[in-house]
Chain A
Amino acid sequence: MALPPPDPQFVLRGTSAAVHTLYFSCGGSEPDIPLLYSGSESGFIHVWNLRTHRVDTALDGHGRKSVYCVETMGGKDRLLSQGRDQRICLWDLAEGRTSVTDSVFTEHVGFCRCSLLKVAQGRWLMAMAARSLEEIQILELPSKTSVCTLKPEVGAKLGMPMCLKLWQLSCGSQPVLLAGYEDGSVVLWNVSMGKALSQLVCHQEPVMSLDFDSEKAKGISGSSEKVLSIWSLNEQQNLQVYKTHELVNAGISDITIRPDKKILATAGWDHRIRIFGWKKLKPLAVLDYHTATVHCVSFSDHSNPRERLLAAGSKDQRISVWSIYAQT
């Protein structure tokens, strides 16, 4: 008889709005306090202290419009956030400051999260959905210089980009972008050439989220349908369907592979978090805690694997934090 699924390690309450994005910053050594950033529908970014389980700071920088992407840029004092006010803000949080140092006006009306990739010390590439419906823009941060704009071929009818994942095989190699589109396809872009390398129709419905494991050259995507699609990238840079996995309930809002590539978590419209083994997509656990759609899942970056956490943010305004498969 299998063990019953665990309960959350703890639950963070108090955003008083649906939680749309989560990001851990726990990699620091001892005196550093492990933090969790959450972005909520009310436009606030909450900085949670994971020792006290309380909000350290609440950042208000998106005109009370929903914040749907938060990420740190090389340390817990530099933060990037994206909101429905069509702005991407860069924050300076050092020494108790809470100021927006710079911002990018995306002019994008959708809710496609931007994707950040560190290319060198102090230099990042950021992919974001641009003003024109089908376009993706790549900027270099912090200079904000536009690197390129990725336009699908005329008549491709991909629709809006829905989710982005910028990655590179190893440090110094060419950055590549995976983008999931409204028509259900995933496109692999060569960023430096601005050219689509491969396109794969993974879903019948818009791709809601994707994640990619560059070591195994395998990725996974979810949509509003009942299936997860796993695809691989071969040496000829072609995307191929590897397998699909049928879910019990339709709708996936977020997918994250744990940094050690052992397990992955999905955030479901059915209020449930699902855990799978990444190698074979073996279903491992269904965490049924939330009472509304789960919007986001995120794994922590603890340097000690046993302390690793999983956090999920939901429309029910709660953030559940789990310790699951931390031993393996």
Chain B
Amino acid sequence: MPAALGERERALFGAFLRSLARAPGAARPEGVWQRCFLEGPASLVLCVLLESLGSAGSVRIPGAGRRFLQEGRVSALLWEVCQQQAQAGCPELQDVLINKIVCLPDHVSNKLQGKNPPVFFPQNYFPLLGDAVLQVLEKISDSLRGGLDCSISFVSHVLGKVCIHGRQKEILGVLVPRLTDLTKSDCIWQRICWRLVECVPDQLCFLPDSQLLGNLVVKNKKAQFVVTQKMLLLQYGHTTEVLQNLLGYLSLDSLRRTLLLRVLQELLETWSSSSAVKHSPAEQQLYISKAILICLSHLKEPEIETHRQELLTSMMEGVKCRLDSSLLQQRRLGMVVAESISLKINTEGPVLKFEYEEDDETRELKSLLVQTPSFCNVPSLPDDDPFLYFFYSDDDLIPYDMSEDKELKIKAPVYIRDCIEVLTGSRTEDVDKWEATVKALESLVRKNPAATREVSVELAKILLHLEEKSSIEGFVELRQRTQVAVLTTDPIPVAKYLTSQFYSLNYSLRQRMDILDVLVLAAQELSCPKFCGKTKHSGAQKPCIQLLQGSDSSKGWRRVVDERIKNKTRRLDKGHCDMELASRPNEFNSVAGYFFFPLIQHFDRPLTTFDLLGEDHLVLGRLAHTLAILMYLAVNTVVRKVLLYRYVRQGLLSCISSLLLSVPTERILADMTEELLETQSWLGDVMEKDPDGDCRRLALQNLLLMENLKKKLEVVPS
């Protein structure tokens, strides 16, 4: 149907449509009815549809309205008016239409009382309208290119009205990206855009792009007012980004730069007026301060030169009345802005410096002075103008968060000798390196047995004396595992060293017990077949030795030892384990002697260092336990026979004596009655038949001890 109807025809067609809309359902031939509404002059149809909404018998009107929207009739409507306008249309009619288009969602929802189709929801309608505007603009661009005159003011007014109604986000969200794209290299599109925004200067801040705006502010008084006065001095709710966009826009062109300077003057005037300081809200003062700082960041050297005096005067006045203020925020604001101005105008001389506490606000303000404004989608310019280059740098590329980009953790040394250097080094500042070394050492030792053997004793010594420098999680276990690794890698010299240290001077009981633990764990690892030794060196679950847990509380420790000794004693006596483990190769075989013999050298003699049979029986208990485990682990070894024939029996006997000495009597009797009886008979046996004099003597001692215990119990029944 032709869009250009005469006035008479329009009136007639309007009447026809109205009667169609009111007609009862039966009188509506489906297809024709629809077509009238979808193909008739769009402006007329819209009016009729809106009028008939909600009136009686208009059940199908909303459906028709929906299809009207969905089939792109809005763009047809806009285009229709644009064409009429070129031939001088009627302004009142246009105003009515604009109102109808922009208020369509409100209108429909009022009429339909919440039963309106989703397409009429503002969040759906305005993007749709945006698309329609784009389509019309494309048509306009085409017809301009075809040499035809075309008016854009209707579209522009629609846009302005939408913005006034607070729907700029929805509609500009559709328009701006596309327009930015189109205006990049096309001057016709640029001109279309400039014309388009002329009518919506209030919304300039949403079009922060010089391509879209052109030099509008210079040409258009209203736009100029909005940009230089309204948005800066009258309003203060815009975000910092908007401010940056706005002032950045002003700074980009030599014509606009005069405006920038004027704006700065006006801002400074407000800033330094004492009445403004007293009467305007704090938010506004902050806003103005921000604007001043952003302006300053855009100033070029020669501009500062010409305006130095003015800047200085305003600064002095402003800072004076601000420092007089009783509000901390006011004073600080004055100081920050004054510092910034002084920094800008005194490039060589001394710079004003105040003392105040930095907070987020002051930091943000200061950052504005150096920040480059965020312009997007600016075409790259030649590098010759350093000022422009500064702006047109990589700013279209928005950086990702790089806060995670920290220095890589210091690498642990790769060679064992380097580890020794780190661990013995006196440089305390290298805690990270030290930590990394401690963590890496065990695996290094295990990976490089040959290199370890070269320095094994030295390493054992270092580890034995190693103190926790920083708080590493599980440091004690870490150190122990490393010690075990060293000992298993090079058993003979290291075992010699450790066992010799066990009885020597200047060690704490803790260290002595560490030695025992390490010997046990290493023996355990060595006695296991290679494959399991490799993967589970800590081996806490194999022959059930757990050495370090809970060792701080002596009560807990004793209980654990009790249980362990109980375990061990029974197993040895019953002699089952030999059968169980008979077929395993035992690396402990060749070195067991180095672990065992030195340890029992001095146990029964009070030494200058410590007295095992006296007050240090805690260690004695542990020693006996260790010996027992070592014995157990030396299953099937040649040494074992020797051990059994003499030393083991000795060790065992001492073990029993230590047990009797160190474990509370009540517990022994309660927990191990059976074992005690068994032990007693064995002791008797040894005492009578053992070929070794020492063993006989020890057995006798033990028996006496047991007797004593018994007597004690009889005297004081528990």
Counting CB contacts under 8 A, is A165 at the interface? no
Instruction: Please choose the segment from A174-182, A186-194, A269-277 that sits at the chain B interface, where 4 or more of its residues have CB less than 8 A away.
Output: A269-277
- Given known A249-B408, A286-B405, contact A2–B397 (CB-CB < 8 A): no
Instruction: Please choose the segment from A3-11, A27-35, A204-212 that sits at the chain B interface, where 4 or more of its residues have CB less than 8 A away.
Output: A3-11
Query: Is B401 a contact of A271 with CB atoms below 8 Å?
Result: no
Q: 1/0 contact trace for A275-291 toward B, CB 8 Å?
A: 01111111111101000
Distance, CA A278 to CA B383, complexed state (A)? 13
Query: Is B397 a contact of A282 with CB atoms below 8 Å?
Result: yes
Query: Is B400 a contact of A285 with CB atoms below 8 Å?
Result: yes
What residues of B have a CB within 8 angstroms of the CB of A1 in the complex? 401
Query: Is A278 a contact of B394 with CB atoms below 8 Å?
Result: yes
- Given known A249-B408, A270-B408, A271-B408, contact A285–B394 (CB-CB < 8 A): no
Task: Tell me the minimal C-beta distance from A280 to chain B in angstroms.
Answer: 4
Query: Is B397 a contact of A328 with CB atoms below 8 Å?
Result: yes
Distance, CA A181 to CA B393, complexed state (A)? 31
Distance, CA A5 to CA B405, complexed state (A)? 11
What residues of B have a CB within 8 angstroms of the CB of A284 in the complex? 394, 397-400
Interface residues of B in 546-598 (CB under 8 A from A): none
Query: Is B394 a contact of A280 with CB atoms below 8 Å?
Result: yes
Distance, CA A280 to CA B399, complexed state (A)? 13
What residues of B have a CB within 8 angstroms of the CB of A216 in the complex? 383
Distance, CA A46 to CA B407, complexed state (A)? 33
- Which of B380, B383, B397, B400 is the one whose CB lies under 8 Å from A5? B400
Distance, CA A248 to CA B409, complexed state (A)? 12
Query: Is B399 a contact of A2 with CB atoms below 8 Å?
Result: yes
Task: Tell me the minimal C-beta distance from B406 to chain A in angstroms.
Answer: 7
Q: 1/0 contact trace for B395-423 toward A, CB 8 Å?
A: 11111111011111000000000000000
- Which of A6, A271, A278, A283 is the one whose CB lies under 8 Å from B399? A283
Query: Is B394 a contact of A272 with CB atoms below 8 Å?
Result: no
Query: Is A286 a contact of B408 with CB atoms below 8 Å?
Result: no
- Given known A280-B394, A282-B393, contact A248–B406 (CB-CB < 8 A): yes
What residues of A have a CB within 8 angstroms of the CB of B393 in the complex? 277, 279-280, 282
Interface residues of A in 151-183 (CB under 8 A from B): none
- Which of B383, B399, B406, B407 is the one whose CB lies under 8 Å from A285? B399
- Given known A277-B393, A282-B394, contact A6–B400 (CB-CB < 8 A): yes
What residues of A have a CB within 8 angstroms of the CB of B402 in the complex? 2, 5, 283, 285-286
Query: Is B394 a contact of A279 with CB atoms below 8 Å?
Result: yes
Name the CB-closest residue of A to B402.
Answer: A286
Name the CB-closest residue of A to B380.
Answer: A279
Q: 1/0 contact trace for A252-284 toward B, CB 8 Å?
A: 000000000011000000111000111111111
- Which of B389, B394, B405 is the one whose CB lies under 8 Å from A277? B394
Distance, CA A225 to CA B394, complexed state (A)? 25
Name the CB-closest residue of A to B393.
Answer: A280
Task: Tell me the minimal C-beta distance from A248 to chain B in angstroms.
Answer: 5
What residues of B have a CB within 8 angstroms of the CB of A249 in the complex? 407-408
Query: Is B400 a contact of A2 with CB atoms below 8 Å?
Result: yes
Task: Tell me the minimal C-beta distance from A308 to chain B in angstroms.
Answer: 14
Name the CB-closest residue of B to A274.
Answer: B405
Name the CB-closest residue of B to A3.
Answer: B400
Instruction: Determine the interface band of chain A, counting residues with CB < 8 A from chain B.
Output: 20 to 34
Task: Tell me the minimal C-beta distance from A249 to chain B in angstroms.
Answer: 5
Counting CB contacts under 8 A, is A325 at the interface? yes
- Which of B383, B398, B400 is the one whose CB lies under 8 Å from A4? B400
Interface residues of B in 129-170 (CB under 8 A from A): none
- Which of B380, B395, B397 is the one whose CB lies under 8 Å from A263? B397
What residues of B have a CB within 8 angstroms of the CB of A325 in the complex? 397
Name the CB-closest residue of A to B392.
Answer: A279
Q: 1/0 contact trace for B366-390 toward A, CB 8 Å?
A: 0000000000000010010000010
What residues of B have a CB within 8 angstroms of the CB of A270 in the complex? 408
Name the CB-closest residue of A to B396.
Answer: A328
What residues of A have a CB within 8 angstroms of the CB of B394 in the complex? 262, 276-282, 284
Name the CB-closest residue of A to B405.
Answer: A286
Name the CB-closest residue of A to B397.
Answer: A277
Name the CB-closest residue of B to A271.
Answer: B408
Distance, CA A263 to CA B400, complexed state (A)? 14
Query: Is B401 a contact of A5 with CB atoms below 8 Å?
Result: yes
What residues of A have a CB within 8 angstroms of the CB of B407 in the complex? 248-249
Task: Tell me the minimal C-beta distance from A88 to chain B in angstroms.
Answer: 33
Task: Tell me the minimal C-beta distance from A264 to chain B in angstroms.
Answer: 11
Name the CB-closest residue of B to A286.
Answer: B405
Task: Tell me the minimal C-beta distance from B211 to chain A in angstroms.
Answer: 16
Name the CB-closest residue of B to A270.
Answer: B408
Task: Tell me the minimal C-beta distance from A319 to chain B in angstroms.
Answer: 21
Q: 1/0 contact trace for B349-378 toward A, CB 8 Å?
A: 000000000000000000000000000000
Task: Tell me the minimal C-beta distance from A258 to chain B in angstroms.
Answer: 11
Distance, CA A277 to CA B380, complexed state (A)? 13
Name the CB-closest residue of B to A325.
Answer: B397
Task: Tell me the minimal C-beta distance from B480 to chain A in angstroms.
Answer: 29
What residues of B have a CB within 8 angstroms of the CB of A4 in the complex? 400-401
Task: Tell me the minimal C-beta distance from A289 to chain B in angstroms.
Answer: 12
What residues of A have a CB within 8 angstroms of the CB of B404 in the complex? 5, 286, 288
Distance, CA A5 to CA B407, complexed state (A)? 17
Task: Tell me the minimal C-beta distance from B55 to chain A in angstroms.
Answer: 50
Query: Is B408 a contact of A262 with CB atoms below 8 Å?
Result: no
Name the CB-closest residue of B to A280.
Answer: B393
What residues of B have a CB within 8 angstroms of the CB of A280 in the complex? 393-394
Distance, CA A285 to CA B408, complexed state (A)? 16
Name the CB-closest residue of A to B404.
Answer: A288
Name the CB-closest residue of B to A288.
Answer: B404
Name the CB-closest residue of A to B377.
Answer: A328
- Which of B396, B399, B400, B405 is the one whose CB lies under 8 Å from A248? B405
Distance, CA A282 to CA B390, complexed state (A)? 12
Distance, CA A161 to CA B405, complexed state (A)? 31
Most buried by A among B389, B395, B400, B406: B400
What residues of B have a CB within 8 angstroms of the CB of A248 in the complex? 405-407
What residues of B have a CB within 8 angstroms of the CB of A282 in the complex? 393-395, 397, 399
What residues of A have a CB within 8 angstroms of the CB of B401 in the complex? 1-5
What residues of A have a CB within 8 angstroms of the CB of B399 in the complex? 2, 282-285
Distance, CA A134 to CA B395, complexed state (A)? 42
Name the CB-closest residue of A to B406.
Answer: A248
What residues of A have a CB within 8 angstroms of the CB of B408 in the complex? 249, 270-271
Task: Tell me the minimal C-beta distance from A235 to chain B in angstroms.
Answer: 14
Name the CB-closest residue of A to B394.
Answer: A277
Name the CB-closest residue of A to B401.
Answer: A2
What residues of A have a CB within 8 angstroms of the CB of B398 in the complex? 2-3, 284
Task: Tell me the minimal C-beta distance from B378 to chain A in angstroms.
Answer: 11
Task: Tell me the minimal C-beta distance from A53 to chain B in angstroms.
Answer: 24
What residues of A have a CB within 8 angstroms of the CB of B397 in the complex? 262-263, 277, 282, 284, 325, 328
A-B contact pairs, 15 of them (CB 8 A): A2-B399, A2-B401, A3-B401, A4-B401, A5-B401, A248-B407, A249-B408, A262-B397, A277-B393, A278-B394, A281-B394, A282-B395, A285-B399, A285-B402, A286-B405
Q: Which 5 A-B pairs have the closest CB atoms?
A: A277-B394, A280-B393, A2-B401, A282-B394, A285-B400
- Excluding A216-B383, A280-B394, A284-B398, 6 further A-B contacts by CB distance (< 8 Å) are A2-B400, A3-B400, A4-B401, A281-B394, A282-B394, A328-B396
